[in-house]
Structure 1
Amino acid sequence: MKTSILIIEDNEQNMYMLSYLLKKEDYEVTKAFNGKDGLELAINIQPEIILVDIQLPDMDGYEICAKLRQANLPKTTTIIAVTSYAMEGDREKAIKAGADGYMEKPINTETFIAEMENIYKLNQ
């Protein structure tokens, strides 16, 4: 069975690239372009991995991470912040909000899948 991934990302180019890379590796991908839809989809489909952008139009990724952790999702759901926020303390802020991992944009297309899978395996 394919591993299911929810991407919460408002930038169409980033969404296209992430979903392309994941589908190429045979992941089942669901897309949300804002936090509200992302939260709703996460609760309804219960994906194994959730990739969350930090800068979204309706709520930031930190708030989404916190709300996802409060939702009725399996404890093994892996939440990864994928963000261009790369200032000192941002990784810690994402983890404190509920993310299991943190990946910086622009993503490296050659290492993205392996990095994501490593965070997922550590969370299982």
Structure 2
Amino acid sequence: MKHIEVAAAVLLEDNAVFAAQRGHSGPLAGRWEFPGGKLEEGEDGTVAIVREIEEELKTQIEVVRHLITVEHQYPTFFLTMHAYLCRRIYGDLELSEHIASCWIGKDDLLTLDWAEADIPVAREVEKLLR
């Protein structure tokens, strides 16, 4: 079984968190996620997430701290996802790979159709939002 290791960014601003909707292809098409991507060989999660957000969203971020690591068995692969609480330094979170995005508050957070591995992260985020 294929194992994929990824990093995800949890960006909080004004009591809301940034969520992105995946494109129309692949097993998780149309589902919502915390943006990020695969770790490259020799890369740790903090380096990967800064690089991925720069590549995918044309935005520079810094990692504040590790939030949670989630392991999830999808039908075709096993995922290890390291989620990091991050702060935006500059950039407007321009979508290049996602079809939609939103800033979502605590009350609506769990109404999104999250990818399964992102649900435990959303529950952690819920605790951080007032």
- Give 1 or 2: higher helix fraction: 1
Indicate whether the TM-score tops 0.5. no
Is the radius of gyration larger for structure 1 or structure 2? Answer: 2
TM-score (norm 2): 0.28
Which structure has more strand as a fraction of its residues?
2
Instruction: Give the alignment's TM-score, normalised by structure 1.
Output: 0.29
